[in-house]
Amino acid sequence: MIGELLTFWTFGPDAYASEHNRRYHPLKLVIWTVVAVGVSAVVTAVRLALSGEPRAGWAVALFPLVLPLTGAVAHKPPRYVPGLVAGVSAGLVTALLLGIDLGTSLSSFWSGFAAMCAGFLACSVVFSAVTWPRPTPPEEGP
């Protein structure tokens, strides 16, 4: 039920129509993830401006980053399981490597936040690449 609501919110009505995946396109996933990164950054900046420092529960600002991929998986595009495995793997590696690298130059909070956002973006890009619609070869007549 939650997946259906998120799908409706993200991709519009009729996500499970007879024309399978008609409203889903991998490019939409990447665009929505970029929008979610922006929303998360604004929410985080406002929370920091109001509270002065990160407090318990700051990770709630990362919730918008989960929505685009959840909506995409709810559509069950072709090759979505390998796409999810490859995307999550790429996102984890990206987040870990960037978190370690950026931790030396930025504050630990912003380096962690930037690494998480980059990880979600990498996950979306890899998922989109794996689930990208393949052209169907023309059918040969008898």
**Mean pLDDT in the chain?**
79
In whole angstroms, give the CA distance from residue 90 to residue 142: 45
- The one-character DSSP state at 25 is -
Q: Is the CB of residue 123 less than 8 Å from the CB of residue 69?
A: yes
Residues 6+ apart with CB under 8 A from 133: 25, 26, 78
Considering 22-36, 57-71, 96-110, 111-125, the range whose residues carry the highest mean pLDDT is 111-125
Q: What are the tens digits of pLDDT across the range 48-85?
A: 888 877 777 777 888 888 888 888 888 888 888 999 99
Say if pTM beats, i.e. exceeds, 0.85: no
Q: Is the CB of residue 6 less than 8 Å from the CB of residue 69?
A: no
The amino acid present at 45, given as its one-letter code, is: A
